[in-house]
Amino acid sequence: MKILRRLGHVAIIGGALAAVVACGTTGGTSADAPGGADDSVSDVTEAKGEECERLSQNEITDVIGPNDGGQHDFLLGGCVWTATSGVKDGLVESIHATVLTEAEYEAVAEVGEPVSGSADGATYDTIHGELWFPCRSGDFCGIKVRIGDADRREEVATRLGTVLQGNV
User: Which of 11-15, 46-50, 97-101, 111-115 ranks highest by mean pLDDT?
Assistant: 97-101
Question: CA-CA distance, 59 to 143, in Å (whole number)?
Answer: 13
Q: CA angle, corner 62, sides to 94 and 148, nearest 5?
A: 45
Contact, 114 vs 123, CB < 8 A? yes
Question: CA-CA distance, 168 to 155, in Å (whole number)?
Answer: 20
pLDDT digits (tens, 9 = 90+) for 111-122: 889 898 888 889
Domain boundaries, given as residue ranges, for the chain:
1-37, 39-166
Question: CA-CA distance, 53 to 94, in Å (whole number)?
Answer: 16
pLDDT value of position 24:
39
pLDDT digits (tens, 9 = 90+) for 29-61: 334 444 444 444 444 444 455 889 999 999 999
Q: Please provide the CATH number assigned to the domain covering 39-166.
A: 3.40.1000
